Structure formats: structure tokens, C-alpha cells
Amino acid sequence: MQKSILIAHPCPRCGSEGGVYAVKNKKDGALWAYCDECDTLWETIDDIQNEVYFNNRSAEFEWGGYATLEEVKEFGWGKYIIED
């Protein structure tokens, strides 16, 4: 099974040690950040830091699954990847 890519830890909203993962927006292929504990989405890395929250029904986001390592690097988020 594909490993999810961790980009923030712990989750700034719920404090989950599970952390925040890179996920794909089916609508335009962009990556968003997602915490599966509190079901929160962030559109950008800045949004995570500035505590800008979207819920899972955000009109601009359609679930496209977790992003792969290659997709995260291609999107320019490689520097945010947190190794286990």
C-alpha cells in the first residue's frame, strides 16, 4: 500500500499526532493538506500556519485520494515532507 505523505505535525487544529497529509483535489489536480482526525483541509502551507480551515465539504475541493511522494515533490511541497 502507498504511504501517505506527512507535511505537518502535529495537526494545528486538533493536535493529532497523526498529523496532516498531502491529498489531491480531483477538481484541478492541486494538492491540499488534510487531517483525517478532525477532517480539516488546508489549501496551502500558509493556510496551515495561519490556521485557515476548510471542512471536508469545501466547494472548491473534491477528494482525489492521498498524494504520492512523486506528486508532492512535483507540486513543490518536497521541502515540507516530514520523514517518520
Report the interface residues with Zn ion, using CB under 5 A: 11, 13-14, 16, 35, 37-38
506527512: which residue's cell?
6
Pick 9 or 73: Cβ nearer Zn ion: 9
| Least gap, CB of 74 to Zn ion (angstroms) | 25
| Least gap, CB of 68 to Zn ion (angstroms) | 22
Contact in structure between 18 and 62 (CB atoms under 8 Å): no
Pick 29 or 52: Cβ nearer Zn ion: 52
Cis check: omega of the bond before 10, within 30 degrees of 0: yes
Neighbouring CB atoms inside 10 A of 75's CB total: 15
